[in-house]
Structure 1
Amino acid sequence: MTRIAIVINDLIRFGGAERYLIEQFRFFHKLGFSIEIFTGEINLDLFKFGEIPSFIHHIDSKSKRLQGRINDFASEIGFWNPDLVIAHAQPANLIALRVNERFGTPYVLNIHGTFINFENDLNRYSSRFRVKALNYIRKNPGIQEFISLSTPKLCFKKRLQINYWARRDYLSFTKSTLIFVLTSEEQRLVREFYGCDSIVHHPGYFRNETSVSSEPDSDKKDFTLLFIGRLDKRKRLENIIKAVSLIPPASRPGLKIFLIGSGSERESLESLILRNDLKEIIKLTGNLTDTELTRLMKSCSGILYPAWVTYGLVVIEALALGLPVITAEDTGIVKELNQSGLHKNILTTDGSPESICSRILELKRSPFRNIIPESVLDRFSYDNAFKCMVHHLEKSFLREKQEDKINILMLPKFINPYQDIIITGLEDAGCIVGTNFNLLNRKNLKRVRDRIDILHLHWLDPFYLNVNSGIEAYIASRKFLVKIRSLKKSGVKIVWTVHNLINHNLKYLKIDRQVHRRLLRLADAVIVMSEYSRMRLQEEYGFEPSNLNIIPLPSYTGFYPNSISREEARKQLNLSENDKVILLFGLLKRYKGLLYLLDNGIIDRFPDIKWLFIGRVEPDNFKAELLKQFSGKNNVFPNLNYIPDNEVQYYFKASDISILPYTDFLTSSNLILSLSFGHPVICTDHGFFKEILSGTRNFFFKPDSPETLVTAITSAFNSDLSLLGRENLKLAESFGHALITAKTKEVYLKVLGER
């Protein structure tokens, strides 16, 4: 039985982190793990959940210094002798690091919020972190109301302390076995600030198994809104009060707002309520029991939560009850909900009093409840979140090497359908695939050597290019190659799938080329996705690896939902039946050729065609440039945001043709995606496109001759697009998942046979 220690600094309130922790305890306890909770301060009245109090270790440290408290925690945890430590928020990450150093116990981090603690300003971080943090604040002006951009002068001793704890904080991330975060934005920030990979999992609403009716004394004529959470500046509670003060007296009858929770802002909020003469409308309730909360939520009209937070569990709780939620654009959960198609109950604001006031009045005029099916909410259930944790824990260190299977570490793992298809296929074929990026840390190399047969590399950028200078990139690249040589020397086989000749951001190209050249010689097998890629690789690096394999991209048929009709899709996107529609879909970067269409007047030449430009834009300043160029073009319909998997079908089913004006690339997943949806294609006469589409009736143009694109578009709309689409779908199906998986496994077996 595995022993797990859950560590959190205190349990004195019942907020999102505490709700998560209780559900995590229940889940692992139910699976049969021996599990204990270690904490400092505790309010036991708030945590009387069955037998849970008997599993809580209260560590009553007498030390006034952080270092002393951390050592007291570490001693108590080490005495219990767990196999794994799960650390929740700060400073639990520092405690877990200390346990690891003293007792060798592996640990994982559960990050619940803004991992750089802006509440304490930037004083506790070294200059390395402060520069990044200040840049982050400047890019997000909405959070400047909570954070001071100025840095006070500090004495030498204080700066030493700051730098010490900053280093410890950094080490706690880099030495952790796994890091779990709540949103994709937080995943991006962990990589930016710490250079570590992390795993997104979506915990859900708190399940109260007690049947609770609505508030018996509630007046059905009342319009009641609830705020639930800690009373601090990031929740914009002052703006809620100011918003209510802006509501005209004629619209106030029946309006009730309860601010539920405790925190440092209570006194100032009480004062603000009195100054605005709102004590009959706004009530501060303090902390409530879970039963009281559930009763109020069932009887209220909606939730007020315009908070700047990384997640916002209360929003999920409200959605589970069908409640509308007035929130903010920078509430972390909002972006995740929009990506999941759960935005119908969300009324977003910019966080200002005026915007909040407008939404309150809008909801008061037209109240609603939309019950969301369990099947839709399931993505955010605690069961799914913790199953995700167990899955990754097993891949990292709970699962021993199995001699009768091929044990693979595949890095880096991105949110990418290509990798998902390959990994699923390999696991179905009896392989064990791990994807924990942090296992390639120097400390973990021994475990990697002992537990894997193959290291399968994909994009190399994260290993040495996510740094701030050429010197850092050079050092990181040397360390990366040393690790690869060490693994190869110990018998681990190295396989590299080459996606790009050089990185798309063109960072530190000399270093990038040097690493590519050396890895081509070190790898036991190299995989490219076309004959064109093989030729370009040889041209770029002057030689062809001896063990080079061509395995095409897999079809995406069956990966994305594809159930709606053309008519339904067009209705959803407000397109008419007779509209001519061209689609450019995917991650929009400069090299993808969108500016080619604009700069050469192609869009203006075809005013009768609707152009859909769909997908997230990188970098951010390119998005602003595109929107400026789109201004005034009535036939351009952009959606420059992440598109959830379940919405991809709307854009492909609603459009007639995909256009791929790419010029500088090695392979193209978007070509395969277009074929998988049965789309005719207009593309450049690039070698990769010509190879994959050889023998088909798709349409090519020369990038240096815009007139050839005009001809291609005209010819396409004079063709039988339906027939061409069916032919393209058949072509996509020839790149079946089973075939691509089998070819990949053949490569593994071949290199393993050379031991």
Structure 2
Amino acid sequence: MDSPTKIIFNPCENKENKYINILVDGLKRHGFEVNRLDDFLSSWKHFQSIQLLHLNWFENLDDSSAASMWKSYFRKLVVLAAVKFGNKKLVWTMHNRISHEKKSGKLSQALTRKLVVQADAIVIHSTVSSAILATQYPGIQADIIHIPHPDFVDVYGPMIPNKVEDINSKLRLLFIGAIKPYKNIELLIGLAKKFSSEIHLTIAGNPSSDSYRNELQAMALGTYNIALDLKFIPDEELPAYLHQSHLLILPYSLESSLNSGTVILAFSYGRTVICPRIGTIDDLRAGDNILDYTYRSESEHAEVLQFQVEKALELWKNNPNSLIEKGLYMRELIQKQNNKKNVSDTLIQLYESLMN
């Protein structure tokens, strides 16, 4: 019997994101032996056995302190040097336009340039990524492979069926995911205050720091149409959060955001979104089934976001089921365009083409 092909998929596990589980499980079912990046240089024998490395978010650095940031940077340079020395195949997935972290921005960009130069293939999840790469890295040599972000249908448990009696007197908006400054949570709190009698906003997720948690709590103090669930949301609770909303509101930064797993999560559980026209949105070509928008400045962002909330309110008041219907349409669409089995199969085809 042939021995399994040994690869590294980094990270190979992530308790906060089933994206990794979906891809790694698909690779294992196909017979790949998936190893951890931390073990890459554990022994000469193990190093020799690895044929391919696939790196996700590798350009992100630990910016908790200057010392940690530089240590993280040099450790990753060692990994890239070892990959080159061992003549290993290298795949990198481009998840963002630029790193979301401001402190390590320049070092992260330097690391990204090295990844782009060294990679045999770059996986992109949205069509616009190809043009961004061509602009930022003229003369890029790596193969650029478009593989959609996998759907999350039933991954966090079954979708809770919708019922007419679930509708109450306010439009229920939900933000869910890691709570970080680039996600513009402050905009949401300010917006909710303007619509205190018409919308109810839930913000659910774990803040990036205690100071940021305190800042958001202070902003929302005394506002009775905002629920702050500032904690890690367990997987099994996600369907209920989604079910209790009419739609998600995700005012991401267009400067850095490119793809969004939370957008795919919303569609997977039958909810549409208010969201900037990032790559994930653009690729789906879903027309008015998504309340998308664009902006050129922070002040304009606040204006167009408010306009989309007003639009959602009008749709909901005219037909209480209209937003749910859009969400169900999106669920069907991504099961075709982002089918997780097709995504895994395409990734496996890429690996085999590189190693053969």
Tell me what 2:319 maps to.
Answer: none
**What amino acid is the match of 2:250?**
L
Match of 2:323 among 713, 721, 733: 721
Tell me what 1:406 maps to.
Answer: 5
Instruction: Kindly state the Cα deviation for residue 530 of structure 1 after the two structures are TM-superposed.
Output: 0.7
Tell me what 2:257 maps to.
Answer: 665
Tell me what 1:609 maps to.
Answer: 199
SS at match of 1:708: helix
Tell me what 1:422 maps to.
Answer: 23
**What amino acid is the match of 1:706?**
A
**What amino acid is the match of 1:531?**
T
Whole-angstrom distance in 1 between the partners of 2:142 and 2:38? 30
Deviations 1:536-557 (A, max 9, x none): 2333344434311111110000
Match of 2:83 among 459, 483, 487: 487
Deviations 1:602-651 (A, max 9, x none): 54235221111111111221111101111111100111111111111111
Consecutive unaligned residues of structure 2, counting only runs of 5 or more, are 316-321
- Asked if structure 1 preserves the Cα contact closer than 8 Å seen for 2:27 and 2:34, the reply is yes
Whole-angstrom distance in 2 between the partners of 1:566 and 1:457? 39
Whole-angstrom distance in 2 between the partners of 1:479 and 1:649? 39
**What amino acid is the match of 1:526?**
I
Instruction: Kindly state the Cα deviation for residue 687 of structure 1 after the two structures are TM-superposed.
Output: 4.5
Q: Are residues 1:529 and 2:121 paired? A: no
Q: Are residues 1:625 and 2:223 paired? A: no
- Residue 692 to residue 622, structure 1, CA distance change in 2 (3 Å): farther
Whole-angstrom distance in 2 between the partners of 1:417 and 1:687? 20
- Residue 707 to residue 508, structure 1, CA distance change in 2 (3 Å): closer
TM-score by length of 2: 0.86
SS at match of 1:503: coil
Match of 1:586 among 177, 183, 200: 177
**What amino acid is the match of 1:417?**
K
Alpha-carbon RMSD across the aligned residues, in angstroms, is 2.6
In the TM superposition, what are the counterparts of 1:550-699 in structure 2 within 5 Å?
Answer: 550-566=146-162, 577-599=168-190, 601-663=191-253, 664-699=256-291
Whole-angstrom distance in 2 between the partners of 1:650 and 1:569? 16
Consecutive unaligned residues of structure 1, counting only runs of 5 or more, are 1-401, 571-575
- Residue 562 to residue 717, structure 1, CA distance change in 2 (3 Å): farther
- Residue 653 to residue 479, structure 1, CA distance change in 2 (3 Å): closer
Whole-angstrom distance in 2 between the partners of 1:747 and 1:646? 33
Whole-angstrom distance in 2 between the partners of 1:550 and 1:671? 18
- Residue 621 to residue 516, structure 1, CA distance change in 2 (3 Å): same
TM-score by length of 1: 0.42
Structure ID, larger Rg = 1
Instruction: Kindly state the Cα deviation for residue 709 of structure 1 after the two structures are TM-superposed.
Output: 2.7
SS at match of 2:160: coil
Tell me what 1:459 maps to.
Answer: 57
Whole-angstrom distance in 2 between the partners of 1:561 and 1:639? 21
Whole-angstrom distance in 1 between the partners of 2:20 and 2:134? 25
**What amino acid is the match of 2:345?**
A
Instruction: Kindly state the Cα deviation for residue 461 of structure 1 after the two structures are TM-superposed.
Output: 5.2
Whole-angstrom distance in 2 between the partners of 1:533 and 1:448? 34
Q: Are residues 1:731 and 2:329 paired? A: no
- Asked if structure 2 preserves the Cα contact closer than 8 Å seen for 1:567 and 1:577, the reply is no
Whole-angstrom distance in 2 between the partners of 1:628 and 1:498? 36
Deviations 1:211-257 (A, max 9, x none): xxxxxxxxxxxxxxxxxxxxxxxxxxxxxxxxxxxxxxxxxxxxxxx
- Residue 507 to residue 605, structure 1, CA distance change in 2 (3 Å): same
SS at match of 1:449: helix
- Asked if structure 2 preserves the Cα contact closer than 8 Å seen for 1:532 and 1:688, the reply is no
Whole-angstrom distance in 2 between the partners of 1:671 and 1:745? 25
- Asked if structure 2 preserves the Cα contact closer than 8 Å seen for 1:408 and 1:433, the reply is yes
Instruction: Kindly state the Cα deviation for residue 412 of structure 1 after the two structures are TM-superposed.
Output: 2.5
- Asked if structure 2 preserves the Cα contact closer than 8 Å seen for 1:528 and 1:548, the reply is yes
Q: Are residues 1:710 and 2:306 paired? A: yes
Deviates more, 1:506-515 or 1:419-428: 506-515
Deviations 1:241-300 (A, max 9, x none): xxxxxxxxxxxxxxxxxxxxxxxxxxxxxxxxxxxxxxxxxxxxxxxxxxxxxxxxxxxx
Whole-angstrom distance in 2 between the partners of 1:445 and 1:476? 21
In the TM superposition, what are the counterparts of 1:115-514 in structure 2 within 5 Å?
Answer: 403-413=2-12, 414-415=14-15, 416-434=17-35, 436-440=36-40, 442=41, 444-460=42-58, 465=62, 468-469=65-66, 473-474=69-70, 476-514=72-110
- Asked if structure 1 preserves the Cα contact closer than 8 Å seen for 2:159 and 2:269, the reply is no
- Residue 483 to residue 620, structure 1, CA distance change in 2 (3 Å): same
Aligned length in residues: 341
Tell me what 2:352 maps to.
Answer: 749
Deviations 1:347-384 (A, max 9, x none): xxxxxxxxxxxxxxxxxxxxxxxxxxxxxxxxxxxxxx
Whole-angstrom distance in 2 between the partners of 1:563 and 1:477? 41
Whole-angstrom distance in 2 between the partners of 1:641 and 1:580? 23
Instruction: Kindly state the Cα deviation for residue 521 of structure 1 after the two structures are TM-superposed.
Output: 1.2
Whole-angstrom distance in 1 between the partners of 2:243 and 2:328? 13
SS at match of 1:637: strand
SS at match of 2:122: strand
